[in-house]
Amino acid sequence: MEDSTTSREKILKKVRKALIATVKDEMPGNIDFDSPIYETPNEPLEIMFAQQFTKLNGKFIFCENEADFITNLKALIAEQKFTNIQSIDPAIIPLLQKGNISFSSKPEDLSKTNVGLTTCEYLVARLGTVMISSKQPSGRRMVVLPNYHIVVAYTSQLVLNLKDALKAIREKYGNQPPSLISAISGPSRTADIEKTLVQGAHGPKEIYVMLIDNHAH
């Protein structure tokens, strides 16, 4: 009977031989590297984004126009009893003022902010992801410190894939790219603590996207 040592040596020899052997990959010359990996979706990007974003525990609110955004935001604030709202974004401040919504735009109030409103760079429909960058007026802190993060976006900012968002950012900023580009996929969460899923561990515990339709009707 063959002893175990001999059998083990034979196995190890085969493994070594397999690792040393050079595998020649034959690459056909007619590979199409330009065609998209995924099929073109049949549904609108707004619907695709909403479906994917909510799967990641994000909250999605569609607004027909800016007036509808103000109405929906006031209803959300009342329903959730939001206080200590802050925004330093020039694109959002006029909307808050128009709706007589109480907020702060003072940098010194950031540490006690409960709800932060920011814009974004793009929304990636296929992934349900919000693309932000350090070039935005809100910078890096407004998307990390508040307990609740409300992203104000327009339908014109929707793109299909991540590569489309990155390409658009490169075209937008040229040779002065942002020092930080981040993709937000749902609220901050971790399962590192006793294997229990905790939201808001190192960022907002809830994220809302309020999408304003600015396409021509």
Q: How does DSSP assign 149-179, residue by residue?
A: EEEEEEGGGEESSHHHHHHHHHHHHTTS--S
The whole-angstrom separation of Cα 158 and Cα 127 is 11
Distance of CA 196 to CAs 56, 193, 201, Å? Answer: 17, 6, 11
Please state, in angstroms and rounded to a whole number, the distance separating the CA atoms of residues 132 and 116: 14
Lowest average pLDDT, out of 109-123, 143-157, 178-192, goes to: 178-192
Lowest-pLDDT choice from 32-36, 61-65, 87-91: 32-36
Q: Which range, of 110-119, 139-148, 167-176, 177-186, averages the lowest pLDDT? A: 139-148
Write the CB contacts of 105 (distance below 8 Å, at least 6 apart in sequence): 86, 87, 88, 93
Higher model confidence: residue 1 or residue 59?
59
**What's the Cα-to-Cα distance from 28 to each of 25, 31, 32, rounded to whole Å?**
10, 7, 10
Tell me the pLDDT band of 21, cut-offs 50, 70 and 90: low
Calculate what percentage of the chain has a pLDDT beyond 70: 79
What H or E segment, with its residue span, contains residue 132? strand 129-133
pLDDT at 103 over 70: yes
| Residue 145 pLDDT > 50 | yes
**CATH code of the region 44-212:** 3.40.50.10420
Answer yes or no: is pLDDT of 132 > 70.
Answer: yes
User: What digits encode the pLDDT tens for the residues 180-196?
Assistant: 999 998 885 544 455 44
Residue 59 pLDDT > 90: yes
What confidence score (pLDDT) does residue 196 get? 46
pLDDT of 19 above 70:
no
Q: Is 193 exposed, middle or buried (0-12, 13-18, 19+ CB in 10 A)?
A: exposed
**Are the C-beta atoms of residues 128 and 55 closer than 8 Å to each other?**
yes
State the pLDDT confidence band at 198, using cuts at 50, 70 and 90: very low
Note the pTM of the prediction, 2 decimals.
0.77
Cα separation of 29 and 120, whole Å? 41
- Residue 62 has a pLDDT of 97
What backbone torsions phi and psi does residue 186 show, to the nearest 5 degrees?
85, 175
Domain boundaries, the chain: 44-212
